[in-house]
């Protein structure tokens, strides 16, 4: 069983401290929902764990299977089993989804090992069917001209193809209509029920997503750290009361 | 036969990475003994030596000597071009080196020391696979030249320039130096004085050569200058595709490559000329290329510049007959220490002629790319159309790109369309790709391949695959 351990993590952008002592352990198979007001550092946390060069880790550690990943390049982290579904995915003009994913799958293979193209397409098409993505999409450039919802679905397609052990999903529900939300949730639930079920950090603002992807834990992040943790009922409580009542609470670790 | 399945179709649409020619592959040198050597430096004696070993007729020696004079008189074009041209020392270059003037018709006859170079570059193998004929030039002369029987039987001539002059003077002289006169520029004059090697191709009326003809130019000697001269004539209704490749070992001193290529597409003929230039980073590559397209004829230049220290090359088409079409598709990749100064010239000289220029440049690190274009449509013409697109991709802030499009379209009965864009490979885009498991180099390479994808798709398969390999290698080298 893989696990991601985030220990007293501090993250800055330039001089500005954004994440201030964040602690969480995510085991494979678990879903941890992270909620919290805008600007509290949720995306910063996810991107810094994935290795974005803009963010400086000023303290603490992140370990994947007991090994610190902080000295690794973003691509090494990804190949070690980490996946980030972006809040704002980048466009890659001229590179088709099929070729992009193929390169990503190839990157995980041993040197000299040949990708079985027929097997690859079979797998790609079955995942696309699951996510109800039109076949025409494989030939389109990654995220270029995609609608907000299409971009998010494309993130989940990549996650399904790359089979990470730990996935950080940053507001995958934003921009999705009701039907798309259910399709994406079904896709994630299918991954959860597979033998290689990933551990998931699910960043969201809305209870609605948690009706479909039922979390094992719900955490509230405020001002760069977790201020409250609970089970799925916490999300309902937040929906009813908002965040103000939590702002006075001390950090719970 | 049952139709291909969806998956089979998808696989067929991916360019399968097969081994191409990579840049490091050209970086080697075997020791070769040269029987003919014009020595170092340039003078009238150098020109006389070249002409005499080739046993040329007096008119040609005359032509060469006149060209030398023109070369010496013309100033370096440093008033508009880069000052780096001033670093070429013409007296330190060797102008002619060969083992003999007559190319072999079979690889078995090619002397071992030269043959192993071409074998290592994979030329005989490519010839077997997909070419109608090959000419392999080693320094000043072709060591090997052959055309498949089936193509020769159709009356197609494919020989080097010396043989062309000797054996087909009536065709050669009629067109030689007519598309690009000696005095066109300083380097066309230099080439006219000391040229050796290059291809002479004649495709008779109505003959469509099914497979490409290929020339491979290899520089082996240090301080050397290669000055091939190519003349391709497609007679009425004929069609031919010509591809050229090139490599040289990396020397610490500079090497000069200065070719002249003239194309003539007679009525309704089609010529496609494809270059993948991969010279080592010490090569000054100063080439003049131009074609004349007669009525209903089409000339298409596909020009990829990956290597060299400085390339100055602006393939052109003179649209001489009605409804003639000219096209330049070019890709330039300037890495650290490189300057790709490339572009296109379209001279409309008849009604209803059309031209299309698509130029894509990629600048990496300290690399610099410049686009220079000329489109000329005079006022008295009507129904002429030009489309020009210049796109630049920058892969870090220190790289530089300049665009100098000179479009003079006069009169209101002609149309032109011009688009230019500069984009950057952003840190976020690279991070996105890395977060999927691709290394930084793979991510950059993918971004570059995506940038040129719509152009590269129009290239013959073998060349787009090779191009992709070269870009992968360049990107690998550019990441610290
Ligand atoms: N690259 C950056 N440069 C400067 N400031 C940044 C950068 N990225 C994030 N920030 C700042 O860091 C803080 C945390 O931003 P972050 O995107 O992590 O918040 P978030 O919790 O994901 O918010 P939201 O719910 O709106 O997505 C914000 O104040 C934001 O403006
Ligand atoms: Mg966010």
Where do the structural domains in chain B lie, given as residue ranges? Answer: 22-313, 427-480
Q: Tell me how far CA of residue B251 lies from CA of B120, B217, B219, B280, B308, in angstroms.
A: 19, 17, 11, 8, 12
Work out the minimum CA distance from A155 to partner chain B, whole angstroms.
10
Mean local confidence (pLDDT), B37-48: 95
> Which of B460 and B326 is assigned the larger pLDDT?
B326
Contact B450 A92 (CB under 8 A): yes
In the structure, what pLDDT confidence band is assigned to residue B458 with cuts at 50, 70 and 90?
confident
pLDDT tens track for A70-79: 999 999 999 9
Q: How high is the pLDDT of residue A253?
A: 43
Q: How high is the pLDDT of residue A63?
A: 98
- A27: burial class by Cβ within 10 Å (0-12, 13-18, 19+)? middle
Q: Are A33 and A173 in contact (CB under 8 A)?
A: no
In the structure, what pLDDT confidence band is assigned to residue B18 with cuts at 50, 70 and 90?
very low
Domain that holds residue A28: 3-88+146-246
Q: How high is the pLDDT of residue B24?
A: 57
ipTM rounded to 2 decimals: 0.96
Residue A126 lies in a domain: no
Distance of alpha carbon A3 from alpha carbon A64, whole angstroms:
6
Q: How high is the pLDDT of residue B480?
A: 53
DSSP run (H or E) holding A6 = strand A3-13
Q: Is residue A137 less than 8 Å (CB to CB) from chain B?
A: no
Q: How high is the pLDDT of residue A242?
A: 87
Instruction: Tell me which residue has tokens 């088409």.
Output: B317
Q: How high is the pLDDT of residue B47?
A: 97
Instruction: Tell me which residue has tokens 């490599």.
Output: B247
Distance of alpha carbon A127 from alpha carbon A123, whole angstroms:
6
User: Mutate which of A44, A93, A159 to disrupt the B interface (most B C-beta within 10 Å)?
Assistant: A93
- Report the CATH number that the domain containing residue A153 is assigned in CATH: 3.40.50.300
pLDDT of residue B477 exceeding 80? no
Q: What predicted TM-score, i.e. pTM, was given to this entire model?
A: 0.85
Contact A75 B10 (CB under 8 A): no
Distance of alpha carbon B342 from alpha carbon B275, whole angstroms:
13
pLDDT tens track for B342-358: 999 999 999 999 999 99
Q: How high is the pLDDT of residue B474?
A: 77
Q: How high is the pLDDT of residue A203?
A: 97
Residue A226 lies in a domain: yes
Q: How high is the pLDDT of residue B475?
A: 78
In the structure, what pLDDT confidence band is assigned to residue B152 with cuts at 50, 70 and 90?
very high
Closest listed residue to residue B322, CA positions, set B284, B351, B362, B302: B351
Distance of alpha carbon B145 from alpha carbon B116, whole angstroms:
16
Closest listed residue to residue A62, CA positions, set A79, A82, A43, A42: A82
Contact A95 B447 (CB under 8 A): yes
Q: How high is the pLDDT of residue B23?
A: 45
Our count of domains for chain A comes to 1
Q: In chain B, pLDDT over 70 holds for what percent of residues?
A: 93
What residues of chain A, 105 to 124, have a C-beta less than 8 Å from chain B? 107-108, 117-118, 121-122
pLDDT of residue B364 exceeding 90? no
Q: How high is the pLDDT of residue B159?
A: 95
| CA A42 – ligand 1 centroid, Å | 8
| CA A234 – ligand 2 centroid, Å | 20
Mean of pLDDT over chain B: 90
CB atoms within 10 A of CB A214: 15
Angle between the N-to-C axes of helices A178-193 and A117-130, in degrees from 0 to 180, rounded to the nearest 10: 130
DSSP run (H or E) holding B53 = helix B44-53
Q: How high is the pLDDT of residue B15?
A: 39
Look at A158-162, A181-185, B223-227, B416-420 and tell me which has the smallest mean pLDDT: B416-420
Residue A38 lies in a domain: yes
The structure tokens listed for B187 are 């380097």
Q: How high is the pLDDT of residue B465?
A: 74
pLDDT of residue B406 exceeding 60? yes
pLDDT tens track for B63-117: 999 999 999 999 999 889 999 999 999 999 999 999 888 899 999 999 998 899 8
Instruction: Give me the tens of pLDDT residue by residue for chain A, a chain 253 residues long.
Output: 899 999 999 999 999 999 999 999 999 999 999 999 999 999 999 999 999 999 999 999 999 999 999 999 999 999 999 999 999 999 999 999 999 999 999 999 988 888 888 999 999 999 999 999 998 888 899 999 999 889 999 999 999 999 999 999 999 998 899 999 999 999 999 999 998 899 999 999 998 999 999 999 999 999 999 999 999 999 899 888 888 888 765 555 4
Q: Are B265 and B297 in contact (CB under 8 A)?
A: yes
| CA B410 – ligand 2 centroid, Å | 54
Expressed in angstroms, the distance from the first to the final Cα of chain A is: 23
In the structure, what pLDDT confidence band is assigned to residue B147 with cuts at 50, 70 and 90?
very high
Enumerate helices (H) and strands (E) in chain B, giving the number of each.
12, 24
């Amino acid at each position: 069983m893989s696990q991601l351990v985030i220990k007293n993590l501090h993250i800055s952008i330039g001089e500005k401290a954004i994440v201030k002592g964040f602690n969480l352990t995510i085991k494979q198979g678990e879903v941890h929902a992270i909620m919290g007001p805008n600007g509290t550092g949720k995306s910063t946390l996810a991107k810094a764990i994935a290795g974005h060069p803009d963010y400086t880790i000023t303290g603490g550690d992140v370990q994947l299977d007991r090994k610190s990943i902080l000295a690794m390049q973003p691509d090494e982290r990804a190949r070690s089993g980490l996946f980030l579904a972006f809040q704002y995915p980048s466009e890659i003009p001229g590179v088709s989804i099929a070729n992009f994913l193929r390169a990503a799958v190839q990157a995980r293979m041993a040197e000299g090992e040949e990708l079985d193209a027929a097997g690859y397409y079979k797998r790609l098409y079955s995942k696309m069917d699951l996510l109800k993505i039109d076949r025409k999409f494989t030939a389109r450039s990654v995220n270029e001209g995609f609608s907000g919802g299409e971009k998010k679905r494309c993130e989940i397609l990549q996650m399904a193809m790359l089979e990470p052990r730990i996935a950080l999903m940053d507001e995958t529900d934003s921009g999705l209509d009701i039907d798309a939300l259910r399709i994406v949730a079904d896709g994630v639930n299918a991954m959860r029920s597979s033998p290689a079920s990933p551990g998931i950090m699910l960043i969201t603002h809305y209870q609605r997503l948690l009706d479909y992807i039922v979390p094992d834990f719900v955490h509230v992040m405020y001002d760069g750290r977790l201020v409250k943790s609970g089970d799925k009922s916490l999300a309902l409580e937040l929906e009813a009361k908002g965040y103000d009542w939590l702002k006075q609470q001390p950090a719970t670790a | 036969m049952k139709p291909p399945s969806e998956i089979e179709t998808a696989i067929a649409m991916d360019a399968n990475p097969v081994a191409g020619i990579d840049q490091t592959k050209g970086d080697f040198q075997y020791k070769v003994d040269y029987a003919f050597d014009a020595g170092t430096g340039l003078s009238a004696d150098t020109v006389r030596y070249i002409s005499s070993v080739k046993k040329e007729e007096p008119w040609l020696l005359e032509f060469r000597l006149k060209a030398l004079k023109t070369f010496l008189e013309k100033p370096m074009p440093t008033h508009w071009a880069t000052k780096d041209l001033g670093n070429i020392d013409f007296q330190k270059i060797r102008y002619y080196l060969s083992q003999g003037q007559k190319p072999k018709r079979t690889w078995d006859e090619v002397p071992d020391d030269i043959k192993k170079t071409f074998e290592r570059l994979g030329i005989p193998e490519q010839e077997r696979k997909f070419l109608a004929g090959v000419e392999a030039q080693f320094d000043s002369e072709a060591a090997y030249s052959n055309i498949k029987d089936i193509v020769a039987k159709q009356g197609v001539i494919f020989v080097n320039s010396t043989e062309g002059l000797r054996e087909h003077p009536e065709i050669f002289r009629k067109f030689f130096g007519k598309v690009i006169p000696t005095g066109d520029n300083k380097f066309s004059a230099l080439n006219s004085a000391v040229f050796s090697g290059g291809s002479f191709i004649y495709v008779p009326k109505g003959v469509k050569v099914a497979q490409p003809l290929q020339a491979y130019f290899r520089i082996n000697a240090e301080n050397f200058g290669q000055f091939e001269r190519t003349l391709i004539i497609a007679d009425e209704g004929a069609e031919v595709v010509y591809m050229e490749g090139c490599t040289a070992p990396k020397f610490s001193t500079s090497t000069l490559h200065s070719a002249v290529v003239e194309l003539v597409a007679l009525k309704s003929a089609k010529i496609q000329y494809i270059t993948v230039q991969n010279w080592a980073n010490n090569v000054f590559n100063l080439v003049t290329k131009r074609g004349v397209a007669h009525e209903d004829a089409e000339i298409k230049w596909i020009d990829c510049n990956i290597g060299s220290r400085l390339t100055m090359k602006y393939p052109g088409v003179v649209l001489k007959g009605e409804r003639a079409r000219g096209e330049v598709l070019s890709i330039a990749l300037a890495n650290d220490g490189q300057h790709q100064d490339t572009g296109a010239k379209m001279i409309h000289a008849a009604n209803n002629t059309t031209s299309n220029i698509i130029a894509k440049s990629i600048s990496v690190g300290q690399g610099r790319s410049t686009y220079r274009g000329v489109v000329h449509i005079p006022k008295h013409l009507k129904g002429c159309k030009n489309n020009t697109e210049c796109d630049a991709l920058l892969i870090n802030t220190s790289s530089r790109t300049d665009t100098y499009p000179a479009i003079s379209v006069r009169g209101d009965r002609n149309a032109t369309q011009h688009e230019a864009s500069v984009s950057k490979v952003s840190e976020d885009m690279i991070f996105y790709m890395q977060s999927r498991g691709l290394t930084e180099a793979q991510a950059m390479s993918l971004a570059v391949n995506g940038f040129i994808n719509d152009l590269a798709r129009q290239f013959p398969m073998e060349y787009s695959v090779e191009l992709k390999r070269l870009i992968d290698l360049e990107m690998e080298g550019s990441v610290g």
